[in-house]
């Protein structure tokens, strides 16, 4: 089963066959429904392979192979990968797209983790953030008995101490007089991934903090959630 008879988007590529798929089927977290194929008039015009794994209590969907003959096919495949990952209830999705297809990810709310190497998208930011702060005791002391509310477009996260543990969870009640951060998801993910300095971005007005009494505490908290040691490095070993 040869996937391509011609050059893909004017770039040199390899011809893939059954052995290729059998090789990736041996990877952890790769199942039959995680191999997604796009067809046109009976010909395969693109495919992707998605692995679902756990790393440090975070469920991650990794797009470990991604190829398409054109951008429209790539967009359709990416949408299907996101649907598959959401059905699997992952916390975040990561991918290493070929350069000629990277613009597809740029059009969506994905964030570059390393330039031209790794792109990540947070699905359940509350779960991702909870996994980060639960391992950083200094953040518990920093927040103390206060409550931080992170308000994004379609998701509100509450950070506070519950049963002696600093935790993050979705917030669905009425927002009252708490320490409120109003920020968009792309900016928040870039802060987590270390691509943006929260202090600099606050000064620039990229996001806002409502309760100025807790300004410095919140800025220190945002600095403290940065992923200094990547939980995503294993994907680079698979490519």
pLDDT mean for each 10 residues of the chain (239 residues): 44 56 78 85 84 81 85 88 88 79 73 62 78 85 91 87 88 73 88 87 92 90 77 38
Structure tokens given for 155 = 């998701």
Residues of the chain with CATH 3.30.1050.10: 127-224
Return d(Cα 63, Cα 181) in angstroms, integer: 31
Superfamily of domain 127-224: SCP2 sterol-binding domain (3.30.1050.10)
Fold of 18-123: Aminopeptidase (3.40.630)
Model pTM score: 0.59
CA distance 121 to 169: 18
| pLDDT (0 to 100) of residue 112 | 66
Q: Which helix (H) or strand (E) holds 126?
A: helix 125-133
204 phi and psi angles, rounded to 5 deg:
-75, -15
pLDDT for residue 9:
45
Residues 166/140, Cβ–Cβ less than 8 Å: yes
Within the chain, all domains assigned CATH 3.40.630.30 are found at: 18-123
**In a 3-state reduction of DSSP, which class is residue 210?**
coil
Say how far apart CA 68 and CA 45 lie, in whole Å: 6
Pull the structure tokens for residue 11: 């770039």
pLDDT of residue 25: 75
Encoded tokens for 183 = 């920020």
So what's the pLDDT on residue 200?
92
């Amino acid at each position: 089963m040869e996937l391509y008879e011609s050059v893909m988007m004017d770039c040199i590529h390899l011809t893939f066959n059954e052995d290729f798929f059998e090789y990736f089927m041996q990877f952890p977290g790769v199942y039959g429904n995680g191999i997604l194929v796009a067809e046109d008039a009976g010909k395969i015009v693109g495919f992707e392979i998605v692995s679902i794994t756990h790393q440090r209590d975070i469920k991650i969907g990794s797009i470990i192979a991604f190829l398409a003959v054109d951008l429209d096919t790539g967009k359709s495949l990416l949408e299907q990968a996101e649907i598959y990952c959401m059905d699997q209830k992952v916390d975040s999705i990561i991918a290493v797209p070929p350069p000629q297809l990277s613009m597809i990810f740029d059009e969506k709310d994905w964030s570059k983790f390393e330039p031209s190497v790794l792109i990540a998208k947070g699905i359940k930011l509350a779960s991702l953030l909870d996994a980060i702060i639960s391992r950083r005791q200094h953040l518990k002391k920093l927040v103390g008995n206060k409550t931080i509310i992170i308000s994004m477009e379609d998701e509100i996260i509450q950070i506070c101490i519950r049963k002696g543990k600093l935790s993050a969870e979705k917030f669905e009640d009425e927002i009252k007089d708490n320490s409120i951060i109003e920020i968009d998801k792309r900016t928040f993910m870039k802060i987590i991934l270390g691509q943006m300095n929260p202090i600099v971005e606050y000064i620039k007005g990229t996001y806002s903090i409502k309760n100025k009494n807790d300004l410095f505490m919140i800025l220190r908290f945002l600095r403290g959630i940065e992923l200094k040691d990547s939980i995503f490095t294993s994907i680079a070993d698979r490519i």
